[in-house]
Amino acid sequence: KDRLIIAVDGPSGSGKSSVCRAAATQLGADYLDTGAMYRAATWYCLDQQVDLDNEDAVAFAVEELPLKISTDPQHQVITIGQTDVTEAIREPRISEAVSEVATNRKARQLLINAQRRIVDESGFIVAEGRDITTVVAPDAQVRVLLTASAEARLRRRGLQLESESGAAQSAEALQRQVLERDKKDSAASNFTEAADGVAVLDSSDLSFQETVDSLLSRIAAVQ
Ligand code: C5P
CA 79 to chain centroid: 16
Nearest to 105, CA basis, from 47, 58, 50, 61: 58
Q: Say yes or no to pLDDT of 60 above 70.
A: yes
What is the amino acid identity at position 179?
Answer: L
Separation of CA 99 and ligand 1 centre (Å): 7
Ligand 1 atom with the smallest distance to the CA of 13 is 3
pTM for the whole structure = 0.94
- Provide, for the chain, the percentages of residues in helix, strand and coil under a 3-state DSSP scheme, each rounded to the nearest 5: 55, 15, 30
State the ipTM, two decimals: 0.98
129 lines ligand 1 (CB under 6 A): yes
Q: What is the mean pLDDT of residues 10-32?
A: 95
**pLDDT score at 1:** 54
Pocket test for ligand 1, best of 113, 154, 185, 192 (most atoms within 8 A of CB): 185
How does pLDDT run across 97-147, given as a tens digit for each residue? 999 999 999 999 999 999 999 999 999 999 999 999 999 999 999 999 999
Tell me what the pLDDT averaged over the chain comes to.
Answer: 94
How confident is residue 161, by pLDDT bands cut at 50, 70 and 90? Answer: confident
Number of structural domains (the chain) is: 1
| Ordered alpha helix ranges (H), 123-187 | 150-165, 171-175, 181-185
94 lines ligand 1 (CB under 6 A): no
How does pLDDT run across 175-215, given as a tens digit for each residue? 888 888 889 888 888 888 899 999 999 999 999 999 999 99
Q: What is the mean pLDDT of residues 3-12?
A: 95
18 neighbors 211 (Cβ within 8 angstroms)? no
CATH number of the domain that residue 10 is part of: 3.40.50.300
Closest C-alpha residue for ligand 1 atom 4: 35
Query: Can you tell me the distance from the alpha carbon of 160 to that of 87, in angstroms, rounded to the nearest whole number?
Result: 13
- Range in 5-9, 17-21, 117-121, 172-176 the model is least confident about: 172-176
Residue 29, domain extent: 4-222
